[in-house]
Structure 1
Amino acid sequence: MRTSLNITNNLNLKAEMRNDSIFQILEYDDLRGSEDVNLAVKLNFMREAGLKLKQVRILLDDSAVQLESGALSYLKGDIKIQNKIGGPLGLGKKLFNSKVTGETMFKPTYSGTGEIFLEPSFGQFALVELQDDEIIVDDGMFYACEDGIEVSSAMQKSISSLLLGNEGAFQTRISGDGLVVLELPVPETEIFKCRLNNDELKVDGNFAILRTGDIEFTVEKATKSIIGTATSGEGFLNVYRGTGDVWLVPTKSVYENLQNTSLGNMFNPGGSYGKNNTNENQDE
């Protein structure tokens, strides 16, 4: 599994080519088309905050891709659109996967030669190449892929992860050989891509958004003893073991806290020093 990043003179561009298909993530440097004053103020605020509009572009050369339902903006060329239902068995499988993962039931296939542009968004995207591999990702992250990729569901394999992992009973499995476009909760530069080599990773929280198929996921006590677990303040930890990749988004909780709390609370990281200072200031 790998990603690549290229920069052009006129437009920030992340691109990858595989199997006669080219996937590009276009990033617009600026938006200045509004004549409305209120909208112009909002655009200026977003520009100052570093928020940029992005759009996925796919170039087909006698090839095919699958898209998340409703993702298409427009297309050009000799491209046919079809939904592969797969008969009653395939329809039932799609319905089950949709119910347990929250992904859309149908993912139309676009085949032929031409260009496809997906809906512009201020969200974040990543290009991932699978080489006869599989990844388990958070629900809702799938956006587009080459036709050789299968999107299905993966049930948690351990009782602890099923009951205590806060990831749900099922997650989205993406497997096969080809390119995948993922929607990310944070910019890709803020993702810690941890490579495990017959090793283990312990995480306090559910901010691991991706793992490769060979990684085992369980939930375990922070320490072996009950007293140690109680006094450590950590309780249970998400544990990832094996050889493969795990993507962590430690900044995700910061954004969530910013949405729900005041700025003053963000300066206390949770340690005893911050708590003591807060109490002292309140006493004064």
Structure 2
Amino acid sequence: MKFDVIDKQSTPFGLAEVLQVKQLAGSSDARSAEQLFFVSQAGMRMKMVKLTLPNANSRVRVEPGALYYMSGDLEIKASTGGGILRGLARRVTSGESLFVNEIHGKGEIYLEPTFGHFILINIEDDAIIVDKSLFYAGLGNLDISASMNRAAAGLVGGEGFFQTKISGTGVAVLFSPVPMNEIQQIEIRNNKLSVDGNFALLRTGGVDFSVEKSSKSWVATSVSGEGLLQTFKGNGQVWIAPTQGVYNKLATPNGLMELAGPPGARSTNT
């Protein structure tokens, strides 16, 4: 099978690559071939993540069920990632799995293929906070835990009371709702970013998340049409996916008709 490497991150811990299949053309079923034709015309391509571990001391963490196949001197080890209480806390608060699958050794690991999208983030002694269930795999010394949002942000911010915090040094593999070229990386330096909708995918550790009124008074907020806004302050980056709501809308029966209407007549919430 022929692949294109569309993204990669190389570190002392190993190599992470996102592979894209050039074309799927082997279906012998007419109905499947029809679906593949329209998928291909839409520009969708099958992708998978390849992780290369350089030596016997290397390790990678993958979500349960993510492994496709692997080759080399590799061994799968399952644990709770720091004890049963920590595993339960991670499961309840951030939505991540109770058990942690770690693959140790030297070799190549391929994760399950999908028409979805992956993003690779190189973390160097830092932390990122991401939406729940986005974490897919981690290469290197990464710790996965829960980050608690403020009460108001958790209640009405659209992200819930807990998100996933990834800290340490290595490469985080995230499953993204949109391709990397549709993600905007916004730098914040002691200023504020306000977002109308919950399409912020991640923020770095120095950025604080809250919910604020769109105007100074509640009266102005109620008549402005914007209501409450997700607000990010501090120093660091916020990654947003403005097209995420468009794809979600297109997946509904009347989505295309709604998207053809005046922009102010629809919500960008995802």
Task: Please indicate the TM-score interval, normalised by the length of the shorter structure.
Answer: over 0.9
Q: State which of 237, 248, 257 in structure 2 corresponds to 1:256.
A: 248
Task: Calculate percent identity across the aligned residue pairs.
Answer: 40
| Counterpart Cα distance in 2 of 1:241 and 1:29 | 41
CA contact (8 A) 1:160 1:220 kept: no
Residue 188 of structure 2 aligns with an amino acid whose one-letter code is L
Which of 48, 51, 55 pairs up with 1:58? 51
Residues 98-117 of structure 1, C-alpha deviation per residue, up to 9 Å, x if partnerless? Answer: 12222111221111111111
More helix by share: 1
Aligned runs of 1:260-271 on 2, under 5 Å?
Answer: 260=252, 261-271=254-264
Q: CA offsets, 1:51-88, max 9 Å, x none? A: 100011111111111011110011101011112336xx
TM-score, length basis structure 2: 0.92
Q: Which amino acid aligns with 2:232?
A: Y
Q: Distance in 2 between matches of 1:218 and 1:20?
A: 35
| Structure 1 residue 262 displacement after superposition | 4.4
Q: Give matches, 1:1-284, under 5 Å.
A: 11-62=4-55, 63-85=58-80, 90-156=83-149, 158-260=150-252, 261-271=254-264
**In 2, Cα distance between equivalents of 1:172 and 1:250:** 21
In the superposition, relative to structure 1, how do residues 20 and 162 fare at CA in structure 2: closer, same or farther (>3 Å)?
closer
Secondary structure, aligned partner of 1:108: strand
| 4+ long deviations beyond 6 Å | none
Aligned length: 262
The structural deviation recorded for 1:252 is 1.1
Q: Unpaired segments of 5 or more residues in structure 1?
A: 1-8, 275-284
Moved more, 97-106 or 210-219: 97-106
Distance 1:271 1:169 in 2: 29
Aligned to 1:83, the other structure's residue is in SS state: strand
Q: CA deviation at 1:10?
A: 6.1
Q: CA RMSD in A?
A: 1.7
Normalised by the length of structure 1, the TM-score is 0.88
Q: CA deviation at 1:44?
A: 1.2
